[in-house]
Amino acid sequence: MDIVLIMDDSFVVSRLTGPAAVVFDHSEADNQLGASVFWSTRSGAFGGEQAMVEYWQVKRGGGFRGILEIIPEAS
């Protein structure tokens, strides 16, 4: 399973500890969770946020992956 995360620019991965940190360590996520996790901040998304989503949506053999967008509620 591939997971692509686009985080706010204020996100700092070095502040994470414990299980949350595993998600943002590609090798550990693969070993412990069985998922290939790729992530970027919004400003670091190659070609922009929309371009990154569109790139990851296309499967190697053609066709498309489903994309799920999760937006937290404003507090």
Whole-number Å distance between alpha carbons of 38 and 40: 7
- The reported pLDDT for the residue numbered 28 is 95
Q: What is the pTM of this model?
A: 0.76
Distances (CA, A) of 57 to 14, 16, 22, 26, 50: 28, 27, 23, 19, 11
13: phi then psi, degrees, rounded to nearest 5: -60, -30
Percent of the chain with pLDDT over 90: 57
Q: In this model, does residue 75 exceed pLDDT 80?
A: no
Q: What is the pLDDT of residues 3-37, one digit of tens each?
A: 889 999 999 999 999 999 999 999 999 999 999 89
Q: What is the C-alpha radius of gyration for the chain, rounded to an integer number of angstroms? A: 13
